[in-house]
Amino acid sequence: MAEVFLSKQTASSTATISFTSGIDSTYSEYLFVVGGMHPASDGTILGWQVNADGQSGYNEVIQSTNFYGQMAESGDSGMVHIGVSDTYDQTVGTAFQPLTGSVGSDADQSGSGQLRLFNPAGTTFNKKWVATSSCAVSDNTVLGLYTAGYINTTSAIDEVQFKFASGNMDSGTITLYGVG
Does residue 65 bind another protein (CB under 8 A)?
no
Closest by CA position to 71, among listed 158, 140, 156, 138: 140
Considering only residues 61, 165, 170, 175, which one is a binding residue for another protein as defined by CB under 8 A?
Answer: 165
Q: How many residues bind another protein (CB under 8 A)?
A: 31
Task: Tell me: does residue 26 bind another protein (CB under 8 A).
Answer: no
Q: Phi and psi at residue 77, in whole multiples of 5°?
A: -65, -25
Q: Which stretch binds another protein (CB under 8 A): 27-35, 72-80, 106-114, 121-129?
A: 72-80
> Which one among 28, 59, 63, 85 touches another protein, defined by CB under 8 A?
85
Provide CB contacts within 8 A for 33, sequence distance 6+: 113, 114, 174, 175, 177
Q: Which of 1, 5, 12, 54 binds another protein (CB under 8 A)?
A: 12
DSSP letter (8 states) at residue 93: B
* 62 touches 152 (CB < 8 A): yes
- Residue 81 is a binding residue for another protein (CB under 8 A): yes
